Structure 1
Amino acid sequence: MSTTTAQGAPIAAAPAPAPKVEGPWRRFISEFAESKLALLGFIVFTIIALIAIFAPWIAPQNPYDLAQLDIMDGRMEPGTVGGAGFTYWLGTDDQGRDMLSGIMYGLRISLLVGVGSAVIACAVGASLGMLAAYAGGKTDTVIMRLVDLQLSFPSILAALMILAFLGKGVMNVVLALVIVEWAYYARTVRGTALVERRREYIEAAQCLALPTRRVIFRHLLPNCMPPLIVVATMQIARAIALEATLSFLGLGVPITEPSLGLLISNGYEYMLSGKYWISFYPGIALLVTIVSINLMGDQLRDVLNPRLKK
């Protein structure tokens, strides 16, 4: 369509602007931010992670440095000023440790165990799952029977048995969680890889006689990442909860390396006497951490799997 000037000369209409194309990362961020709860979970988890990372610099006290503890300040109520003029905003435990500082340090161990075990279990399970799907035959049968065997045991029971044999320790807890978690990743990746290996790009790579390792890790793995990311997010929250349970039962981390579960366990016997804060505040910190991760995981599932969108 065109218009004319006062002299009658035609003027061509301005071309329509080209549609703006968003990159995959920008599109992912915009879709993730559509959920206010997921965005809130991301903000809360980021704050928690920063607190855990910088705990030695921002915590009012090192709760496991004996030189900074005063046994006379044991079991003080929240907001009480100690003998040295130090204010315990969340109270103290039976050893005179500042609960606020204890939670900050406890978050470090809980996140280290949760994220560390999830990363290692993801690497192991994803590798075995892709190998099972790509190789097929006896290899697939053996790996999936191991997966079925692993998933037939309750996770908490299997972890308790492993730690009863290995003993306490952060690395032992991580190893126990890896052993009870890898099967979830293997089954998820195998299901996705079975679909992807029938696609044309895999057949083309095989026709070019590319090495099996390259086909798996350069072509197959990237297309299995969306469901893997969702499972990993959920498993981090699950690993943190499992570690807290193990520490509460006395088979997790030692008392020299506190976690939120151990802090909850330390105050459990004082709940009936009214000293609620020793277990209550670490429990709230654990609950907020797990809920924030789950909120992110729910939205990641919807974003990375369009079929689940309403």
Structure 2
Amino acid sequence: MSATTAGAAPAAKAPRVETPFRRFVSEFFESKIATGALVVLVAIVLVAIFAPLISPQNPYDLAQLDIMDGRLEPGSRNGDDTMTYWLGTDDQGRDMLSGIMYGLRISLIVGAGSAIAAAVVGASLGMLAAYAGGRTDTIIMRLVDLQLSFPTILSALMILAFLGKGIMNVVIALIVVEWAYYARTVRGTALVERRREYIEAAQCLALPTRRIIFRHLLPNCMPPLIVVGTIQIARAIALEATLSFLGLGVPITEPSLGLLIANGYEYMLSGKYWISFYPGIALLITIVSINLVGDHLRDVLNPRLKK
């Protein structure tokens, strides 16, 4: 008996279950470009989160700024061949590397915060318009058309001219100019899903409207909402940088990447390029990496775009 057992072939392993999440991960990481962009984006987020621990200087602490002797210096080295300012300093004596790390925090907080809040507002109104129909749909979609008819930057400038500077005011302005994109996207998806059999079955069972919308309709509207949200985060970061560059964004005591670029604009002609150049590169890398991830998410989550 023991010999037979010892000579028996080992039992075959059960086949691995292919779940939707595993399929999504497998398809996403098939693209080397999207994978590289995701790695860069994760690194940027980690740098922004741990900026107080890894940055050489706290650019918000005036006691650490050398305005007299440390301003407008290019990348320099100490006598022991160690770098003092890897990316130089700005006109306030602020270490540019530290400023970029902290500026990434402001840019990501404003971009992600406004995009999430706008998604909540826009998705709620979009589902309400699709599910209720009739006059409710007409009113909401006319508001969407009215919002989208105005240039985004002009609308944001008008709102900030009324509210004033400040991170929260910038977030409010971005929510106002972004919610319509989510509403239109979710309404289009919800109109298709509303005609599905599972929605009709839920209505026949007399389930509460709130449960039908949030337990059945919303989960099936998430893929396009995630894609639009990813793109809108990059758009919000770029718009916040534009507003800060124009002087209507975040306060000067908490500079974002856009404000750092604006601070060095007047010194470009005198050869002090690093003040605007390095924050501009950081902003470009951040926006491009988010757009590449969002673009590939669209390809993976939309079956019609799959080859």
Which TM-score tier does this pair reach, normalised by the shorter chain? Answer: over 0.9
Amino acid at match of 1:263: L
Asked if 2 retains the 8 angstrom alpha-carbon contact of 1:110 and 1:243, the reply is yes
In the TM superposition, what are the counterparts of 1:5-44 in structure 2 within 5 Å?
20-44=16-40
Q: State TM-score, norm by structure 2.
A: 0.93
Superposed displacement of residue 254, structure 1: 0.3
**Does residue 92 of structure 1 match 2:64?**
no
Equivalent residue for 2:169, pick from 169, 172, 186: 172
- Structure 2 counterpart of 1:54, which letter? F
Q: Which residue of 2 aligns with 1:196?
A: 193
Q: How does 1:126-145 map to 2 (within 5 A)?
A: 126-145=123-142
Percent of aligned positions that are identical: 82
CA distance in 2, matches of 1:240, 1:96: 25
- Kindly report the root-mean-square deviation, in angstroms, between the aligned alpha carbons of the 2 structures: 1.7
Taking structure 1 as reference, are residues 86 and 31 closer, same or farther at Cα in structure 2, changes over 3 Å only? closer
List per-residue Cα deviations over 1:219-262 (Å, max 9, x = no partner): 00000000000000000000000000000000000011110000
The reply on whether 1:55 has 2:51 as its aligned counterpart is: yes
After superposition, the C-alpha distances for 1:131-180 in whole angstroms (9 at most, x for unaligned) are 00000000000000000000001111100000000000000000000000
Residue number among 187, 211, 214 corresponding to 1:217 in the alignment? 214
Structure 2 equivalent of residue 65 of structure 1: 61
- Are residues 81 and 95 of structure 1, via their aligned partners in 2, closer, same or farther at CA, if it must alter by over 3 Å? farther
CA displacement 1:17-58 (0-9 Å, x = unmatched): 875431111111110001111101110000000000010111
> Aligned AA for 1:35?
S
- Aligned equivalent of 2:149: 152
Residue 278 of structure 2 is aligned with which of 281, 286, 290?
A: 281
Tell me, yes or no, if the aligned pair for 2:242 and 2:258 is still in contact at 8 Å: yes
Question: 1: distance between equivalents of 2:201 and 2:83?
Answer: 69
Equivalence for 2:228: 231
Offset at residue 61 of structure 1 (A): 0.2
> Quick one: distance in 2 between partners of 1:181 and 1:213?
25
For residue 203 of structure 1, report the CA deviation from its aligned partner. 0.5
Structure-1 separation of matches of 2:87 and 2:159: 35
Q: 2:289 aligns with which of 286, 289, 292?
A: 292
Partner SS state of residue 73, structure 1: coil
- Segments of 5+ residues of structure 2 without an aligned counterpart are 1-10
Alignment partners' CA distance in 1, 2:13 and 2:175: 53
What stretches of structure 1 of length at least 5 have no aligned partner?
1-14
CA distance in 1, matches of 2:87, 2:64: 17
Aligned 8 A contact 1:81 1:88 in 2: no
Q: Mapping of 1:114-133 within 5 angstroms?
A: 114-133=111-130
* Distance in 2 of aligned mates of 1:294 and 1:181: 16
Write out the 4+ residue segments of structure 1 that deviate beyond 6 Å after TM superposition. 15-18
Instruction: Name which of 251, 266, 273 aligns with 1:254.
Output: 251
Contact 1:260 1:283 in 2 (8 A): yes
* Distance in 1 of aligned mates of 2:289 and 2:113: 18
Match of 1:87, SS state, is: strand
Paired residues of 2:76 and 2:83 also in contact (CA < 8 A): no
Distance 1:64 1:127 in 2: 38
The question of whether the paired residues in 1 share the 8 Å contact of 2:75 and 2:83 is answered with no
